[in-house]
């Protein structure tokens, strides 16, 4: 059998990409190195990851949000701590009760200082909040979804090599070989696919070793809950009394092929916290660094990269999983269109063009936090300035917009401020919402004018987009909109629709009508 796509790596990014491709009608094989997906490092609070708004919207637009929320460790709804319903607060301009709104280099952001009154197109709705999930839960949900869609998922199969020619790729895993038209590396920061394909992986070397561990503490009162910047680094106590995190500026000298011992972890914690705290047991521990590298392109011939295979950085700011899911959402429909033969010229190249700047931002966002956490007087001086700024409404709003993904935008052609942004989740008068009309992975032409010519335009592309003519409860002054399959606005108007401009935009992303 010749697969359309082989994906190396069955984690959340690889599985989500597999779902996107299969939803679009292409054949997919996922080869996952780990035979047993269970791991204490990925389960519960040890595997805790934050989902920002673009990630939540991606799950919502594919009909998975209810399952994600049902398996979440915590959800940032109004009235819960931590977090807030960001776009809901923006839409109502209400003043929420004091709650945690994230952090920057361990400096807490106060939700009461956020002002989203200028966000004209913000809307409350099912996807208007982020949440905390375990890596294991997300991986299981996406693997189950992929299997339901018909993806061939094989565990215990590590990709060891591949060969490429003008017709496709032969992928070798264990003692087997597989034929495919394309290969996508979603196999993590030490990606075999990236190394074999000789992608340039540029960036900066690490300065610290980070630790995350589940422990028992004899005297937890000696440690302050939450994030704590110290003279030698940072430590975190929580969530819960038994989870700790440490950032030790040791020039990343800890040998990460070794597992920390109870004694070595206690020594690091004592040094960084400047206490004589005592650890009595350690259930599980892992380490990381602030190494920050990014592939200079995400495509070489028939080989593509996504997630940590394309970019690695420290977990400061919680952008890793979110950036990877965004890669998968952006790549899936474009690669499927290329395979099915209707992709406009250069469509697949826009994957790198659009996602590479997002990855670059994520690397720089973590580097900036490292810079002000360094245990030296210059970093402390900068940190004091940032801490003062964070007390202001404008600065808090800026940081929260960045952390939450609210300000993410692709550089697409067009002057309207919504172009390149995530589509507002309009509530239609029939009770449905815009996001629900993207469940099948197609684009969307939303007509708020009942224009017959727009209807005819929608029918021409009916195999690739959904045409919806309806009234909405609050149009924000818009009359029509074309939304790409990934949920980003490519064309919008506030006047009588210009059919020529609308058709040009649809052709730009969905090719010629059939």
Give the rounded distance of the alpha carbon of 24 from its chain centre. Answer: 21
Per-residue pLDDT, 267: 97
Task: List 286's β-bridge partners, or say none.
Answer: 212
Give me the helix-helix angle, 12-23 and 320-340, nearest 10°: 30
pLDDT in tens, the chain (514 residues): 999 999 999 999 999 999 999 999 999 999 999 998 888 888 887 788 889 999 999 999 999 999 999 888 877 543 333 333 333 333 333 333 335 578 899 898 888 899 888 888 988 889 888 888 889 999 999 999 999 999 999 999 999 999 999 899 999 999 999 999 999 999 999 999 999 999 999 999 999 999 999 999 999 999 999 889 898 999 999 877 789 999 999 999 998 888 899 999 999 999 999 999 999 999 999 999 999 999 999 999 999 999 999 999 998 877 889 999 999 999 999 999 999 999 999 999 999 999 999 999 999 999 999 999 999 999 999 999 999 999 999 999 999 999 999 999 999 999 999 999 999 999 999 999 999 999 999 999 999 998 889 999 999 999 999 999 999 999 999 999 999 999 999 999 998 888 899 999 999 999 998 7
Neighbouring CB atoms inside 10 A of 484's CB total: 25
DSSP code at position 472: B
Residues in a beta bridge with 248: 209, 233
SS (H, E, C) 347-406: CCHHHHHHHHHHHHHHHHHHHHHHHHHCCCHHHHHHHHHHHHHHCCHHHHHHHHHHHHCC
How far apart (Å, rounded) are the C-alpha atoms in residues 57 and 43?
23
Torsion of Cα atoms, 344 then 349 then 352 then 355, to 10°: -10
381: burial class by Cβ within 10 Å (0-12, 13-18, 19+)? exposed
CA-CA distance, 482 to 498, in Å (whole number)? 12
Distance from first CA to last CA of the chain, Å, rounded?
A: 29
Give the per-residue pLDDT at 256.
Answer: 82
Give the pLDDT score at 450: 85
Q: Contact at 8 Å (CB) between 67 and 138? A: no
Query: Per the omega criterion (within 30 degrees of 0), is the bond before 82 cis?
Result: yes
What integer pLDDT is reported at residue 128 of this predicted model? 86
H or E stretch covering 323: helix 320-340
Spell out the domains of the chain, with CATH numbers in brackets: 2-61+136-200+293-373 (3.50.50.60), 77-129+374-408 (no CATH), 209-289 (3.30.70.2450), 434-510 (3.40.30.120)
Read off the tokens for 488.
């980003």
Look up the pTM and report it.
0.93
Q: Which of 497, 476, 495 is nearest to 467 (CA)?
A: 497
Two tokens, residue 91? 């839409």
User: How far apart (Å, rounded) are the C-alpha atoms in residues 506 and 395?
Assistant: 38
pLDDT value at residue 160: 97
Of 406, 291, 295, 290, the closest CA to residue 360 belongs to 295
Q: What are 445-462's pLDDT values in tens digits?
A: 999 998 889 999 999 999
Cα torsion for 390, 394, 398, 400, to the nearest 10°? 70
Note the Cα 3 to chain centre separation in Å.
27
Other Cβ atoms less than 10 A from the Cβ of 293: the count is 16
Q: 């033969």: which residue's tokens?
A: 341
Q: Within 13 Å of residue 439, how many CA atoms lie on the same side as its CB?
A: 7
According to the model, what pLDDT value does residue 100 have?
Answer: 57
């Amino acid at each position: 059998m010749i697969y359309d796509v082989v994906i190396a790596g069955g984690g959340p990014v690889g599985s989500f990409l597999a779902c996107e491709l299969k939803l679009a009608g292409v054949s997919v094989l996922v080869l996952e190195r780990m035979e047993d997906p269970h791991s204490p490092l990925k389960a519960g609070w040890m595997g805790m990851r934050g989902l920002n708004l673009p990630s939540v919207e991606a799950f919502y637009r594919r009909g998975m949000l209810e399952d994600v929320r049902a398996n979440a460790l915590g959800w940032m709804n109004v009235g819960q701590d931590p977090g807030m319903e960001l776009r809901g607060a923006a839409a109502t301009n209400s003043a929420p009760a004091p709650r945690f709104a994230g952090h920057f280099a361990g400096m807490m952001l106060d939700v009461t200082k956020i002002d989203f009154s200028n966000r004209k197109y913000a809307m409350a709705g099912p996807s208007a909040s982020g949440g905390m999930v375990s890596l294991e839960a997300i991986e299981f949900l996406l693997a189950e979804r992929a299997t339901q869609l018909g993806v061939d998922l094989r565990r215990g199969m590590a990709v060891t090599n591949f060969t490429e020619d003008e017709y496709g790729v032969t992928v070798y895993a264990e003692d087997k070989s597989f034929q495919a038209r394309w290969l996508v590396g979603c196999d993590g920061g030490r990606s075999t696919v990236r190394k074999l394909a000789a992608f340039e992986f540029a960036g900066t070397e690490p300065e610290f070793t980070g630790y995350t561990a589940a422990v028992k503490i004899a005297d937890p009162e000696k440690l302050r809950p939450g994030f704590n910047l110290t003279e030698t680094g940072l430590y975190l106590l929580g969530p819960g009394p038994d989870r700790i995190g440490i950032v030790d500026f040791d020039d990343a000298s800890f040998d990460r092929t070794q597992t920390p011992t109870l004694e070595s972890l206690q020594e690091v914690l004592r040094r960084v916290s400047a206490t004589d705290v005592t650890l009595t047991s350690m259930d599980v521990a892992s380490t990381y660094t602030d190494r920050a590298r990014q592939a200079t392109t995400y495509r070489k011939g028939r080989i593509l990269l996504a997630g940590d295979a394309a970019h690695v950085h420290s977990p400061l700011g919680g952008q890793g999983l979110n950036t990877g899911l965004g890669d998968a959402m952006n790549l899936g429909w474009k690669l499927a269109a290329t395979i099915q033969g209707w992709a406009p010229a250069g469509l697949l190249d826009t994957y790198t063009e659009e996602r590479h700047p997002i990855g670059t931002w994520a690397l720089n966002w973590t580097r900036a936090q490292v810079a002000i956490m360094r245990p030296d007087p210059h970093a402390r001086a900068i940190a004091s300035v940032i801490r003062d700024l964070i007390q202001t409404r404008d600065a808090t709003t800026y940081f929260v917009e960045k952390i939450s993904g609210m300000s993410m935008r692709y550089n697409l052609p067009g002057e309207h401020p919504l172009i390149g942004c995530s589509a507002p989740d309009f509530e239609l008068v029939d009770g449905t919402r815009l996001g629900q009309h993207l469940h099948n992975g197609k684009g969307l032409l939303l007509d708020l004018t009942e224009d017959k010519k727009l209807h005819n335009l929608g029918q021409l592309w009916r195999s690739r987009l959904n045409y919806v003519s309806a009234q909405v409860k609050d149009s924000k002054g818009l009359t029509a909109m074309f939304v790409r399959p990934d949920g980003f606005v490519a064309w919008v108007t506030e006047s009588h629709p210009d059919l020529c401009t609308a058709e040009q935009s649809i052709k730009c992303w969905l090719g010629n009508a059939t």
